[in-house]
Structure 1
Amino acid sequence: MAEKQSTLAQVKDQHVTAILVTHNGVTWLSEVVAALSSQKRLPDQIIAVDNGSIDGSVKLLSNAGIPVIKQSKSAGFGSAVAAAVAKLPIVDKQINNQENNEWLWIIHDDCAPDKLALAKLLEAVVERPQVGIAGPKILGWYDRKHILEAGISITENGTRWSGLEDREHDQGQHDEVKNVLAVSSAGMLIKRGVFEELGGFDPSLELFRDDVDLGWRANIAGHSVICVGEAILYHAQASSSERRAIDVKDAILHRPLLLDRRNAAFVLLANSSWWILPWVALQLLFTSIGRSFIYLLAKLPGYAADEIAAIGLLIFKPADLIKSRRYRKKNKVLSARVIKQFIPTRSTQLQASLERISTSISRAFKSKNAQQNPTQVKSYSDIGIIDESFDELEFVEGKSFAKIRALAKQPFLFGLLVISIFSIFYSRNRFGSLSGGALPVAPDSAMHLISNFFTSWHLVGLGSSSPTPLWVLIVGLASVITGGNPQIFINLFFFFIPLLLYVLTYRSARRFNLSNYSATFAGFIFAVSPAILTSINQGRIGTLVVAALFPILFTALYNHQQLTDLKWRKLYLVTIVAAIAAAFSPIFLLVWLGYQIYQLINQYIAAQNINSTKWEDISKILNQDEIKKRFALLITPFLINIPNSFSLLANPSAKLLEPGLSVPSGDLLSVLLFNPGGPASPNLYLLAPFVLYLFLCLVVKQQRRDTSLALILLALSVTISSFYIAGNNSNAQRVWTGTLIVIAQFILTLNIFSLAERIIPQLRTINFGYKHILSAVTALVTIFSTVAMTGWGLSIGANSLVTTDNEQVIPAFISDLATTNERPKTLVVRKNQEQLKYFITRGSDLLLGAPDVSSKTPEIIHTSIVDLFNGVGVSSSQILGFYGIQYIFMKDPADPALVRTIDGIGGFTRSSATKDGVIWKVNNAHARVSFQNMKGQHFPVNSNDISANGYVSSSGTIIIAEKFDKSWRLLLNGVAVPLEKNEFGLPVFKIAQPGEVLITHDGT
């Protein structure tokens, strides 16, 4: 009894301020005010904060004698609570326990607490000093037996989790006090000191999920959060059930589901440990896609769009998320693992889902009772999922097309919606593992790409020791975000690249001081330009990466042209981005080096004492911060791309090829019109507007400097594209200059819109003249080109070289043979457009990165293959056999004359003829590594992909059926044996005695 009296005394000692937040809630407000006034333990004061109500809420509060703080309707819930707390007197920490005895009781305008609610909450918290937040059990407003929440949590995919059964009714089963992750902000009782310590509700969460976030942060900061089951509150959930409009600033189109899903993802990404962020992000993405699909099946396209847009808002506006993660580090006391106990397990979630499905099915079979009593009034909890049109009759919008007008005020989001729809239809033939055009097949493991980067000998053709370009490693590492599967990563990259280019161009345009509308149009024009769509259709991954990274480089350097105010940390981030772009495009590296050298020379010339020959003066100039920063921009991308950058400088004309296979490019006229051309590119009559932009910007002095750079890039593009280069083990083709074109058109796009924003206001004040005509022509050409390119991409442009249904060239049994100890090779012959083409495979199609390390076929092999096709290759089988080529496969449609020719030449035995093609076995072909004894007999040596080991029983010769390379090594009983070359150009080792042999390739 004494203990109870002590508790009651402590309850009286607590100081409680009730903060009532209102927004057009007059429907429920009178009952809320009455409930507050009838509390057994009355709050010490009540402060109301109204967020722009127009329904009489303020008048009702004033009549009740409650002071009201007025805010705009776009203000968030958290800012309303913060405004009320700011009006409270500062806590005097000198007074004993004042800080621990002051509480904030947060009340919504649609929730009415039971008369014992505050008393029960205070009794629970005074008995538990470690508690920082407490909340009541929440029941429905309309069905007051329906339990809505008894503490809340969040699942790994962002779903709000209450742990309750479907439409569970209150029978006292949740009346205990229990620790939870969070409680609803409706009826939340929080210590004022804790509220101020945590910084209140996150301003990035203006409505929905702000309570989960606050509870999460409180737990991490070492404060307990409890739900007091005996404290009861009735909640109408007006906002989440769409019974009133959502007017906060972040609520795009006033859609609660969109805001709720965005905030759910935000809470997870802002509070999760950094090392699980990729996994959390993937779960959120795929869960949103799954939910949107279900909503589409349920014929709720609005909700489906909300799910996708919610993730898009976070991806393309990450600044708030980064800021919030930094802020949370300040108050973090405990490990994030303390939260794990509150997160429901997958089995728990699955069990709850199955129970809901079972309940729904059971309810469906009991529909007869509902039909017998059609006029029976249903409780609020029986309504179920509320359809989008639930309240259309009750809450009719006063203005027509309100959502369209709201969307028009958000041009970026409108453009995002349009480009997303375009990407879906444009990519309809590219869902799956992609290949075709310049894009080889991607392996199914990132480790394949990563290991290839560090391997000294590459299994492509007859082998190659060429260094793997850095971009292969970058793709392998980036594939981690797709679970280490490069196929999925490449597919997502090609799907999202128009969307990504739109967003990045928009952000750069805004930094270029363009208006919201101009930046939106600029982003869309760039994303659907001929150069971009051609690059996608032809699989030009290098050009697409440069197109995505150049807006970042342009923005960073354009705002710091003198480099004096560019911090070293940011400068090195810029150099890393430039190095990544250079790894994907040698042409970009050359242009980058040339531009930085030009700027470096200009800065040196502009320095004082330029004519002095004294070392002190020269050293002083070179030590200037701007000179050093410019030199870092010059040298760092070059160093990161060693040794490929050295090869580029040593032989530029032979190293200008983009990653992947060789694909024909367009002629000079096509390049001049900003259309790289080639197969699957738009026709020239779909004129790109960039030539007109170039002419107009050159005329205007303010745009001339940037436009001159674009003109130089275009001239360089036309010049380089006139060269024919044979590379990547393919025939000579025009050099692809799409990289230079996309850079030039990006610069022109920003400058033409900058010119337009300056000219258009002038047109309204001057007489009609040439400026009006040129402006009209430019607008018409831009509109025609953009609409035409969009239409082309949605129609025939979707039939690209890059598809998911490319057939496998190599038959399965040849692929299986390639894994045996002999490691045989196969000569594949194809007839394409009256041309015979061949390549040598080791059992699989060319994989990503393989063409970039391939080397020229030895002349002796090329000659023997040509002689074979011409019917004069008497020694062809012997030469091919020595190089380990054990099979010839002619892909259907096979040339009958060539088939007869090979059948008639000795040394080849037809193995089979199927629907896939014709296969011959090369007689007496050798294994990849073989031992020839003194009698001339050949024996295979056990071999893996590169190295080999085994026992030789006598003296003789070890023959490696690979291209000759000085890095081949052989150890006989641990002793090195000299490398030699035989008459066929193969690496051989003379064995003087029996023993164990070990063959390796030393790449050091």
Structure 2
Amino acid sequence: MLDLRVTAVVVAHNGARYLPTTLDALAGQSRPVDFSVGVDTGSTDDSASILQLGLPVGAPVVGSPARAGFGAAVRTAVAQIPQRKAAAEGTENQDWLWLLHDDSAPGPTALEELLLAVERAPSVTVAGTKQVHWDNPRELLDVGLSISRWAERLTLIDVDEHDQGQYDARSDTFAVNSAGMLIRRDVWDALGGFDPALPGVGDDIDFCWRNRLAGHRVVVVPAAVMRHASSRGTGPVGSRAARRAEVFLRLKHAPLWQVPFLAIGAVLGGVGRLLLGLLAKDPAHGTGQLLASLAAALRPVVLTRARRGARRTRRLPRGVVRPLLTPRREVWAHRRSVLEAFTARGAVAGGGGTGAVPEQDVPAGDSNDDFAALAAPGRAWVGAGALAAAAVLLGVSLLALRSWIGAPSLAGGALLPLPPTPGEIWEKASAWWVPLGSGAPGHGSPFSYLLWALSALGLGNPNAALVTIHLLALPLAGLAAWFAAGALTRSRGLRLWAAFFWAAVPALQVALGSGRLGALLAHLLLPLVLLGLVRAVGAAASAPSATGEVRLRPGTNGTPSWTAAAAAGLLLAAVTSAAPSLLPAAVLGIAGACLILRRRARTLWWSLLPPLVLALPVALSVGLEPRGLLGDPGVPLQFSAAAAWQQVLGYPVSFDALAAPAGVPAAGPWALVAALVVGAPAVLLAAGALFSGRRRPAALSAWAVALLVLASSAASAHLPVAAGPTSLIPPFPGPMVSAFSLAVLAAALLGADRFTSSMPATGGRRRGVRPLLVAGAVVLALGPVVSLGLWTLPHVLTTPASGTAAPASAGAATAANGTADTSSDGRAAASSTRFGTDVQISASPARTLPATAADRGNGPDRTRTLVLRRTEEGAIDAALVRGGGTTLDALSPLYAARAVQGSPGAADVRGDDDATATLRTSVAAITGGTGIDPREDLRTLGVGYVVLRQSGTAAELLAGQLDSVPGLAAVGSTPSGWLWRVVPPATPAGVEDAGAQTARVRILDASGNAEALVRSGPLTVDADIPSGSEGRTLVLAERADPGWKATLNGRVLDSQSTGWAQTFALPAAGGELEVRFVSPWQPWVEAGQAAVLLITLLLALPLPTRLKLSRLPAAARPEHGRPPAPSGPRRGGRSPEEPMRHRSGSLHTGADRGGDQHGTGPGLVGSNPGKTKA
């Protein structure tokens, strides 16, 4: 006869809300327990006192460290159980432990049913209960536990599945929940209790696993029911713990030879879960899964100890548990069932709303509507305004810029053509050597990456994309502003005005006319950056529902959006690449927003990563000289910066306020009047938004950004980034004026939206304010009309020039004067002004050098071409040009900044280095008429041809002079200018001396004569060279730098310092020659850039609706069908319900659907075929 003694062990941790009910249920058992022990694990609420008062008199209550886990708490309790007296004759003592959580209340007959089950089957040493929801006892949580072949915890219970007795026939199961687990004491002692390596999640699975391998049975007793508040431990922490336990169990119970492979597989699986988390717009969850996989796999000492303990108690082979594992097909069917259930509920929730829901600061799982047009009343299609604005602006653009239609390319001002293929752009963008003139160390401009991406607009023809983006600049700007305005206002009229206002901002017109492609692209993209940032913090305007209920959509109503933050980061990277001067203001503004908004801005910080990693290689190249980081892309142009009040009105370059606009015959200060009409209404409306009630904080933020960029513009004026013909050149303020205008536009929309939304819909009051509305609308509309009219009128009155013109040289010793106005002080000679919008660019051929020179420059010799141009002032511009001509992607702000030295406010032009001095000497010899032979210097520079641009009578006179220069053979006049070939001196036999030939890479003998010319690429050398004499050298027409590395047949060649050109000592033997420029930062920077940009792209991809997961709290989701649980003390300060997680194709909450603090909740929810559901 058995004498059963049951000891109840109640473990509590901040469970004061649930503990009284649990203790009452324990006291009300039909078969009372024989002894009770309470354990408090460091609770900060009243749990310890409730245990002392609620347990029977004499029941000990002890403490246990919270971090030690549930198993340690039970071991502490077991040590308090008194020894039993010896059993009477004919009886056998048998002790049992009944484990209870503070939030698990057993049914009245739970213990009785459990004891009946173990009495009927002596082989059963562990028995568990049926788990139902605490608040809804009809809802099942688990009826026994199982695992997949990968040790993933499973319950195979459907979402919200009701208990209808469908599982009451279950008995033997792989494992049972530790809440309500009945364990035979001698088995507990023999197995050593729960594994300390699993202090929470997974401890019950592991114990039951070891129990079965020791030869015992585990059963679930459906008649014993346990109410369990399973959602208390869910969330990111529980999810990571579940993954860590899953991997650890997999490694602990596998054969030894499989452990290394399983560990590697677990880490790779963690990487896969990270990618899935990124796609599901939950990078924190994905990162947690990867870290949990690493934490479990990289614990060799703990794993060895756990495996040794499991081996000591194992009596049966590992395969004995295989029939109890859930087959893979059933696991996947179950996951599909869960996904379909949540997809259906998400569609219902998304369509009709869920009622008023408190604002959440948890980033949302995003959907396709992150950048979609916001919904509007269904009387008319909301996109009609966008199409109307785009159509009107397209007509204006084509009328004004009609001479560019069909152009092969564009050039002039700061603009140059692009190379014929996107691959050439990418090569220059990713190189760590600047291929301008004689070259210089430094990473390619990030702007070239943007040019490479834009080449897709031309279907692989970059120059076609260049022409297209200029012709479509106005409609694209309008569309961008229209979309961005939708995040700030629901008014169609205001969105339409915003589109026209943004397309008419003078900063866009100045960029368009002066060829400043970077400023142009920044202006087009800035509204989309604003849209992304607003939606990233959940501040976008939302469409009202038919019932007036609030819906939590990503980007609205305080629900942050990872998709929007990532998209904003990519767009901001493009903007700061096109306008690097905006980078400091962007960093300060977003960092400030993160500090102020705190958790609501938890997604916003990611938007800073793409622009920072894209600028990182340039920052490493410039070192302590920030000029190269902040310079504008394109040809450096001088300009006269506008005064602060003119920049506030939207004008980046100065104009004569007392003059008349060009095309306007009336005299007087009409320029000032026009400027005020264009910019003042928006500024005044934005200022009024500071007094607009609940929208005031947003308006204050907009004004803070406006003042920040205005201050940045003022500060940048004191930091020269290039040298012009007559002065140093600071960053162009156009992008900062655009950013200021956008902030003003945002504040104006907020103020106007507040005013219109507060107006009465009908009645006399509305009729009374109608005249004010009409007057305000007219004033606002007048600004874009005047701006576009003053920009278009001079173009209409001017006959477009026919033909194409070659652009001015880039990289010249002096740059062309690019002042925005017709005179240096910004005043027009005829007392008229175009506000700096003069068109300096025109149609141009894609190749800017004569064909002969271009073919040699792109051939294996890679010779350079010296391009000369006589300015109107009589000066000579000279440029050392590579390939078929300098292209826009080859220009580098870093290279331009080399010409400037000194601190801000005390900067000056840097003196010539040896390479520049050699160029200047050769130009002086060619143009000076002294008869000096320039060939030696030209050979060192790698020059094979000389081109003189056709620029008037002075150029013709200079051309006649060049015909008499020794070593120059006239080829003739070409559309790109007059052409001369550099010929070597003749030998006594009257033939050209082959030893005087030139190329980018030459082999010189000991006497300095050219022994051979080496085939070369634009930046690298991969060629077979013949053997030659001793003492020869390899010379590159590139500036010497430690980054140049050369090998011959794999052997590293020694670098020599003989002048400015890079030289290597070359042995007499021939073989395979390789020359590269190598930066020590290159592999690390490129890996970091690739990782950040790949993750950002994954985050920016909109999640299909079918895969969207609800991020509302569990109690607020419509599928739960019950009210939120009452407030009260909570575990670890966490909310009782946390958002659902998407992991590896399945849906989990924390340690599984019902995991709690002790890791005892049920696993993945799902269904089996043929089960009945309520």
TM-score, length basis structure 2: 0.45
Supply the AA of the counterpart residue of 1:697.
A
Q: Which has the higher contact order (CA 8 A, sep 6+)?
A: 2
Q: Which moved more, 1:903-912 or 1:771-780?
A: 771-780
Listed one character per residue, the Cα deviations across residues 94-136 of structure 1 (whole Å, up to 9, x for unaligned) are xxxxxxxxxxxxxxxxxxxxxxxxxxxxxxxxxxxxxxxxxxx
Which of 1004, 1016, 1028 lines up with 1:944 in the alignment? Answer: 1016
- Secondary structure of 1:962's match? strand
The match for 2:868 is: 829
Listed one character per residue, the Cα deviations across residues 242-272 of structure 1 (whole Å, up to 9, x for unaligned) are xxxxxxxxxxxxxxxxxxxxxxxxxxxxxxx
- Secondary structure of 2:410's match? coil
The match for 2:462 is: 486
Which of 852, 860, 867 lines up with 2:924 in the alignment? Answer: 867
What does 1:738-777 correspond to in 2, within 5 Å? 738-756=734-752, 758=754
Determine whether 1:505 maps to 2:518: no
For residues 708 and 878 of structure 1, do their structure 2 counterparts lie closer, same or farther at Cα, with a shift above 3 Å needed?
A: same
Listed one character per residue, the Cα deviations across residues 810-856 of structure 1 (whole Å, up to 9, x for unaligned) are 22222223244433212110123323211112341222311127565
For residues 737 and 697 of structure 1, do their structure 2 counterparts lie closer, same or farther at Cα, with a shift above 3 Å needed?
A: same
Distance in 2 (alpha carbons) for counterparts of 1:994 and 1:905: 39
Q: Which moved more, 1:964-973 or 1:522-531?
A: 964-973
The match for 1:422 is: 396
Structure 2: 5+ residue stretches without partners: 1-366, 374-378, 540-557, 663-670, 802-838, 899-912, 985-995, 1080-1174
Supply the AA of the counterpart residue of 1:553.
V
Distance in 1 (alpha carbons) for counterparts of 2:526 and 2:409: 25
Determine whether 1:801 maps to 2:801: no
- Secondary structure of 2:404's match? coil
Distance in 2 (alpha carbons) for counterparts of 1:672 and 1:790: 22
Listed one character per residue, the Cα deviations across residues 861-915 of structure 1 (whole Å, up to 9, x for unaligned) are 2431453344569474322222211332222245466456656665555554678
Determine whether 1:848 maps to 2:856: no
For residues 322 and 898 of structure 1, do their structure 2 counterparts lie closer, same or farther at Cα, with a shift above 3 Å needed?
A: closer
Contact 1:913 1:919 in 2 (8 A): no
The match for 1:690 is: 679
Deviation at residue 319 of structure 1 after TM alignment? 7.4
Listed one character per residue, the Cα deviations across residues 258-304 of structure 1 (whole Å, up to 9, x for unaligned) are xxxxxxxxxxxxxxxxxxxxxxxxxxxxxxxxxxxxxxxxxxxxxxx
Which of 974, 981, 998 lines up with 2:1057 in the alignment? Answer: 981
Distance in 2 (alpha carbons) for counterparts of 1:593 and 1:560: 16
Distance in 2 (alpha carbons) for counterparts of 1:595 and 1:697: 19
- Secondary structure of 2:612's match? helix
Deviation at residue 765 of structure 1 after TM alignment? 8.3
Distance in 2 (alpha carbons) for counterparts of 1:409 and 1:630: 28
Listed one character per residue, the Cα deviations across residues 963-988 of structure 1 (whole Å, up to 9, x for unaligned) are 223232333343212111213x1111
Determine whether 1:533 maps to 2:509: yes
Deviation at residue 728 of structure 1 after TM alignment? 11
Supply the AA of the counterpart residue of 2:870.
K
- Secondary structure of 2:494's match? helix
The match for 2:1066 is: 991
What does 1:948-987 correspond to in 2, within 5 Å? 948-955=1023-1030, 956-983=1032-1059, 985-987=1060-1062
Q: Which moved more, 1:752-761 or 1:813-822?
A: 752-761
The match for 1:656 is: 630
Which of 628, 632, 642 lines up with 2:606 in the alignment? Answer: 632
What does 1:449-528 correspond to in 2, within 5 Å? 449-457=425-433, 459-480=435-456, 482-528=458-504
The match for 2:408 is: 433
The match for 2:948 is: 890
Supply the AA of the counterpart residue of 1:919.
W
Listed one character per residue, the Cα deviations across residues 604-638 of structure 1 (whole Å, up to 9, x for unaligned) are xxxxxxxxxxxxxxxxxxxx745754443334431
For residues 461 and 678 of structure 1, do their structure 2 counterparts lie closer, same or farther at Cα, with a shift above 3 Å needed?
A: farther
Distance in 1 (alpha carbons) for counterparts of 2:444 and 2:651: 30
Deviation at residue 523 of structure 1 after TM alignment? 0.5
Which of 710, 716, 731 lines up with 2:712 in the alignment? Answer: 716
What does 1:539-558 correspond to in 2, within 5 Å? 539-558=515-534
Distance in 1 (alpha carbons) for counterparts of 2:371 and 2:490: 25
- Secondary structure of 2:402's match? coil
Distance in 2 (alpha carbons) for counterparts of 1:689 and 1:821: 55
Supply the AA of the counterpart residue of 2:419.
P
Supply the AA of the counterpart residue of 1:860.
A
Listed one character per residue, the Cα deviations across residues 680-705 of structure 1 (whole Å, up to 9, x for unaligned) are x9865552622453355335434454
Deviation at residue 661 of structure 1 after TM alignment? 1.7
Distance in 2 (alpha carbons) for counterparts of 1:434 and 1:696: 41
Determine whether 1:443 maps to 2:419: yes
Which of 545, 570, 577 lines up with 2:571 in the alignment? Answer: 577
Identity of aligned residues (%): 18
Contact 2:389 2:479 in 1 (8 A): no
- Secondary structure of 1:917's match? strand
Contact 2:1000 2:1037 in 1 (8 A): yes
Distance in 2 (alpha carbons) for counterparts of 1:829 and 1:733: 22
Deviation at residue 706 of structure 1 after TM alignment? 1.9
Distance in 1 (alpha carbons) for counterparts of 2:752 and 2:883: 57
Distance in 1 (alpha carbons) for counterparts of 2:537 and 2:617: 30
Deviation at residue 645 of structure 1 after TM alignment? 4.5
Deviation at residue 657 of structure 1 after TM alignment? 2.3
For residues 456 and 753 of structure 1, do their structure 2 counterparts lie closer, same or farther at Cα, with a shift above 3 Å needed?
A: closer
Q: Which moved more, 1:457-466 or 1:793-802?
A: 793-802
For residues 940 and 842 of structure 1, do their structure 2 counterparts lie closer, same or farther at Cα, with a shift above 3 Å needed?
A: farther
Distance in 2 (alpha carbons) for counterparts of 1:906 and 1:482: 45
For residues 653 and 755 of structure 1, do their structure 2 counterparts lie closer, same or farther at Cα, with a shift above 3 Å needed?
A: same
Distance in 1 (alpha carbons) for counterparts of 2:381 and 2:1067: 83
- Secondary structure of 1:939's match? strand
- Secondary structure of 2:842's match? coil
Determine whether 1:726 maps to 2:726: no
Which of 810, 816, 819 lines up with 2:855 in the alignment? Answer: 816
Supply the AA of the counterpart residue of 2:862.
R
Larger Rg: 2
Deviation at residue 927 of structure 1 after TM alignment? 2.6
For residues 779 and 818 of structure 1, do their structure 2 counterparts lie closer, same or farther at Cα, with a shift above 3 Å needed?
A: closer
Supply the AA of the counterpart residue of 2:1001.
V
Deviation at residue 601 of structure 1 after TM alignment? 4.4
- Secondary structure of 2:403's match? coil
TM-score, length basis structure 1: 0.52
The match for 1:881 is: 939
Deviation at residue 428 of structure 1 after TM alignment? 1.3
Supply the AA of the counterpart residue of 1:921.
V
Distance in 2 (alpha carbons) for counterparts of 1:896 and 1:998: 45
Listed one character per residue, the Cα deviations across residues 424-445 of structure 1 (whole Å, up to 9, x for unaligned) are 3233122233221322212222
The match for 2:980 is: 919
Distance in 2 (alpha carbons) for counterparts of 1:797 and 1:741: 31
Supply the AA of the counterpart residue of 1:829.
L
The match for 2:341 is: none
Which of 554, 560, 566 lines up with 1:566 in the alignment? Answer: 560
Q: How many residue pairs align between the two structures? A: 586
Deviation at residue 455 of structure 1 after TM alignment? 4.0
The match for 1:68 is: none
Deviation at residue 557 of structure 1 after TM alignment? 2.5
For residues 478 and 828 of structure 1, do their structure 2 counterparts lie closer, same or farther at Cα, with a shift above 3 Å needed?
A: closer
- Secondary structure of 2:560's match? coil
Distance in 2 (alpha carbons) for counterparts of 1:323 and 1:698: 29
